[in-house]
Every structure is written in C-alpha cells, then in structure tokens.
Structure 1
Amino acid sequence: MKLSKNFVFTLIALVVVAALYRVVPGRPFGFAPQIAMAIFAGAVIKDRKTAFALPLISMFISDAFYQILYVSGLSIIPGFYEGQATNYILFTLLTVIGFLIKKINVVNVAIASIAASTIYFLASNFMVWLSGTGGYQHPQTFNGLMMTIADGVPFYKNSIWGTLFFSAVLFGGYYFFFSRSPKAEEA
C-alpha cells in the first residue's frame, strides 16, 4: 500500500524529533521514545523494512549526535561504543513486539510497552554483564549478574514510564491525526 505524503512527512519528523530528544541534556536516562517507536512501527507500518528502519534510524542519528557532542567535549556519553550492535539488534526485536499487536487499544499497547521495556532491560543488562562493558565489570557469576541488573533498575523505571508516555503520544497522535480507527494508514 502506498504511503500518503502526510504520513511519510510525519514518520520523518518522528525520527528526527525522537533522535533530538534522546540527546537533550538533563533528561532522565532511559526516558526516551525509541522503544515506543519500535512498538508503534511494528504495530502500524505494514512494510516490515520500514517498520524495522524507523527506530534504528532514529537511534543512529541520536548516536551520531552523541558522538559529535562527545568528541567536542560537550558530553561524557559517547555515541558509538563497544556492544552497540547488540543494542541495535535488541531494538529490531522490540519492533517484532509491535507486529504481535493484533488489535490496537490502550490495554494491548500498555502491555506491549511494559513487555518491550522489560525485555530490553533484562537483555541489555545481561549483555553488559556478559561482555563486561560500560564500566560494569561485575563477576561472571549469578551474583554479578544480579549486581548488573540492580545497577540498571533506575534506567528500567524510567524506561517503563518513558515507553508508556511515548506510546500514548505516538498511538494517540496517530489515532487523532490519521484516523478514528487505528491501522487505517498502513505502510
């Protein structure tokens, strides 16, 4: 199905705004739109390539901004780092959660948001523990894994709230601007 110009413009704006928001100084870490964007793309956009690309392009743009700020001495957070490919793979998997939403409604979007945030939290912390990257060189034991997960809890809380908030914005905005019944503007 062909995308309308308004919908394409909206997707481009969404990618840029989400990328810029992610590098806003002082925002709570983990409170970002990318997980919600992955769910939204999977649920709304029929073209799988476009659905997978949407959150990944946004992540890449914000990572590039972070790298520029880091190299310029304006941020302590590097944009490109060891283990980054794992992060991109995880976001690809989060888009699949959106594919699983058969009926878009508040309950299903909330469940998908919490599930995606939880999967991302557990998988990303497991990978940090396994690789010993990110300054978290905890022992390769069960206790070390639990320490790594405990280190990530503040990010997890923000991730859940951020994903719920941005899912409400994305799905609510889509419903308001493009239809009165979700799935009307499918890619």
Structure 2
Amino acid sequence: MNITRYSTIAAIIVLAALSRFFPHPFNFTPMAAIALFGGAYFSNRWLAFLVPFSAMLISDTMHELLTGHGFHSGMPVVYGSFALVTLVGIMVLKKVSILKVVSAAVASSLIFFLITNFAFLYPEAAVPSPSLGNYPHNWTGIIASYEAGLPFLKNQILGDLFYSGLLFGSFYLLQRRFEVLRVA
C-alpha cells in the first residue's frame, strides 16, 4: 500500500467536498465525481466507499449546521445512488481514459437522476408540497417527477463533467510530476 498515493487521493476528495461551500447552481457539485474518483483510484474497496462517503457526510453535516439544509428524508436514496456511482468507478474506470471518465460522469448523472426522481415520487404530505415531491402515484406522477428534475439534470451533468475533469485531470498531472503517486 502506497500511503502517499492514498493520502493524496483522500486529500483531493476532501478538497473537492469543500467546494460544495462555494456558491453554485443546484446539483452542480463534486459528489458524483468524488464517488467515481474514489472507485477508480482506491484499490482497497472499503476505502473506495469510505473516503468519498465520509467527505459527503462531513460536508452534509457542515451544511446542516451552517444552513439547516444539510439533511433531508431522501438522504438514504441519495447516498445509495452515490454508492452505485462508486461501483461505476470501480467497474468502468479500472483503466482511466478521457472517454471512460466522460462516459462514467454522464452515466453517473443519469443514475442519480433516475433513482432520486423516482424515489421522490413517493413521499406523501398532508398538504401538497412540490419540495416533497407529492406527485400522483401513476405514470402521470412519474413523468411529472422526471420533468421537474430536468433543470437539475442539466446542472448535474455539467457539474459531474467539470469536477470529474478537475479531479481526474489533477491527479493525472500529479502522477506525472511525482513518481511516488504512480501505481507500482
């Protein structure tokens, strides 16, 4: 195990997670890129999940403490979606290339969109509330839920591509500069 390599990967993930505190459009975040990056570069599969999820949990906790909006009832679905994204990183990015990173980033956006918008179809509220996703439980409701999520999907794709490029590109440049970061 290369401690320097693992520490560098973890540091990149933590720095990316901190970027959630910069002003940004909804869903233009580094979270899927972090999950892909961890899946791609941690050979220890526990760390591939643990480090990105720890960074997400810490940043969600900080959001909750600072704004009151860090946690919500859909968190298990959100974290479950990112677990699937980590699996995409593990399976698709065994050998990192630009095409694979772009494909994995777009696939991650679609995975997150399809799962979370379907999941938010189901909450029931005493008073109708769009923020709770109170849609009829039929095809009309499913379509309405996905339509309501389309603006967020655009931001998700753009954010996932931007942050994936930033994380994977930065690590590539660091590996070229410092031999200790290359896989032996």
TM above 0.5, yes or no, is yes
Q: Which of 48, 54, 59 matches 2:56?
A: 59
* C-alpha separation in 2, matches of 1:15 and 1:98: 14
Alignment match, 2:12: 14
After superposition, where does 1:85-96 map in structure 2 within 5 Å? 85-96=76-87
- Unaligned 5+ runs, structure 2: 126-130
Is this contact kept in 2: 1:41–1:95, CA < 8 A?
yes
Contact kept, 8 Å, 1:114 with 1:164, in 2: the verdict is yes
Quote how far apart the aligned CAs of 1:127 are: 0.6
SS at match of 2:66: helix
Q: Which runs of 5+ in 1 are unaligned?
A: 72-77
Give aligned-pair identity as a percent: 35
Amino acid corresponding to residue 30 of structure 1 in structure 2: N
In structure 2, C-alpha distance between the alignment counterparts of 1:132 and 1:115, rounded to whole Å: 29
Deviation at 1:14, TM superposition (A): 2.6
Between the aligned partners of 1:17 and 1:63, the Cα distance in structure 2 is 14
Residue number in structure 1 paired with 2:3: 4
One-letter amino acid of the counterpart of residue 90, structure 2: F
The answer to whether structure 1 residue 116 and structure 2 residue 108 are counterparts is yes
Which structure shows the bigger proportion of residues in helix conformation? 2
**d(CA) in 2 for partners of 1:127 and 1:90?**
11
Q: Normalised by the size of structure 2, how large is the TM-score? A: 0.86
Is 1:156 aligned to 2:153, yes or no? Answer: yes
In structure 2, distance between residues paired with 1:185 and 1:64 = 34
Tell me the CA shift for residue 80 of structure 1.
Answer: 1.8
Task: Give the letter for the 2:136 counterpart.
Answer: P
CA RMSD, Structure 1 to Structure 2 (Å):
2.2
Which residue of the other structure, out of 72, 81, 86, is the alignment partner of 1:81?
72
Aligned partners of 1:37 and 1:54 also within 8 Å: no
Alignment equivalent of 2:121, drawn from 114, 129, 142 = 129
TM-score with structure 1 setting the length? 0.85
User: How many aligned positions are there?
Assistant: 176
SS in 1 for 2:148: helix
Residue type at the aligned position of 2:2? L
Letter in 1 for 2:74: G
Partner amino acid for 1:14? I
Counterpart of 1:48 in structure 2: which amino acid? R
CA deviation vs aligned residue, 1:58-102 (integer Å, no higher than 9, x gap): 21011101111234xxxxxx2122121121111111100011223
Q: Hey, what's the Cα distance between the residues in 2 that align with 1:121 and 1:109?
A: 18
Q: 1:132 Cα shift?
A: 4.5
Could you tell me which of 94, 98, 102 is aligned with 1:106?
A: 98
